[in-house]
Amino acid sequence: MQEIAPKVYIETLYPGVTLGAINWSHGLILIDSPIRQEDARAWRSTLLNLGGGVDKMLVILDGHYDRTVGLRNMDCTVVGHTRLLDIYRGRPVTFKAQGTETGAEWEQQSNLGSIRWAAPEITFTDQLSIYWDDDPIVLQHRPGPSSAAIWVELVKEKVLFLGDLVTPGQAPFLASADLPLWIEQIKILMEKKYKNHLMVSGRGGLLAMDEVRKQLKFLEKANQHLEGLAAKKARPEEAQNLANTLASSFNTPPELKEVFRQRLRYGLYQYYVRRYCPEETAALEE
């Protein structure tokens, strides 16, 4: 666990997403959760050593399976965007982790068993401020990577938890994305007002601005290719075939190359059907 600002911690040890913990006088505000039950136990044990207040609240940065599969294991109040409720409604009440190939982290884990979703008890539409200390933590709706994507900003500490807005060194998840909105959000992040902020990626920890620029370049390239295919009324399979070209944008370890290519194949196909082939959208899962 790394302390990146006074009483603000991140953890990148566990498979899945980057975890956050804000140890304020009223209690712990957590950012996202581990995928595996054993990792949740270990994370909870680590958090006990921080002391602080007795209450716990967990903020979920979007509805991706890597963020939602392990939520119930954290046993605390969950906060997220109201769009998460729609995402949950599109899923079976009980989910058995098998058979999907989206290139997600949870698919690489064994013995997850059946999963019961932990829907957020507190939701918001545009912005929510939490006053568990003298200065607020601000949750902002920032759609792009998904319709339920949010940022968490610690105003005084100048820390931003960005979820999947930037995924350094790996292919992003495109299936539930809105690329023009995503590009717009990255440009907002690059504005002067965020210049001196610490930026935390939901998949990789602390970010450098160079990684933000690389993500912007990748998304613009992907959007240009997809718009070109749509203009030609291409079939979704042609969008899927872009995966090999786009995968070359990342300096990927050999053991992860096929995982990231599959992530792109799945995401490009789903994105293209949803955005450019509305007559086929009903066949897609949320």
**pLDDT tens digits, 243-272:** 988 888 877 777 778 888 899 999 999 999
pLDDT at site 285: 43
Give the 3-state secondary structure of residue 265.
helix
Entry pTM: 0.91
Token look-up 């995401």 returns: 267
Higher pLDDT, 203 or 98: 203
Strand 55-59 relative to strand 77-81: parallel, antiparallel, unpaired?
A: parallel
d(CA 138, CA 153): 5
* Vertex 198 angle, CA 214 and 3, to 5°: 125
> Among residues of the chain, what percentage have pLDDT more than 70?
93
Is the pLDDT at 52 greater than 70, yes or no? no
As to burial, measured by CB atoms within 10 angstroms (0-12 exposed, 13-18 middle, 19+ buried), residue 142 is: buried
Closest-CA residue to 46 (of 6, 4, 9): 9
d(CA 184, CA 179): 8
Say how many C-beta atoms besides its own lie within 10 A of residue 195's C-beta: 9
DSSP assignment letter at 129: E
Query: Which residues 6+ apart lie within 8 Å of 186 measured at CB?
Result: 144, 165, 166, 212, 215, 216, 219
Query: Which residues 6+ apart lie within 8 Å of 177 measured at CB?
Result: 144, 145, 146, 267, 271
The domain 2-207 is classified under which CATH number: 2.40.37.10, 3.10.20.30, 3.40.50.620, 3.60.15.10?
3.60.15.10
pLDDT at site 244: 86
Token look-up 């040890």 returns: 13
d(CA 263, CA 156): 37
Most confident region among 20-29, 43-52, 218-227 by mean pLDDT: 218-227
Averaged pLDDT, 221-234: 93
Tokens read off for 102: 């989206």
d(CA 204, CA 14): 11
As to burial, measured by CB atoms within 10 angstroms (0-12 exposed, 13-18 middle, 19+ buried), residue 17 is: buried
Higher pLDDT, 61 or 74: 61
- Please give the backbone phi and psi of residue 168, each rounded to the nearest 5 degrees, phi first: -65, 135
Token look-up 């200390």 returns: 133
Length of the chain: 286
Distances (CA, A) of 167 to 62, 128, 171: 14, 25, 7
Closest-CA residue to 3 (of 71, 48, 50, 36): 50
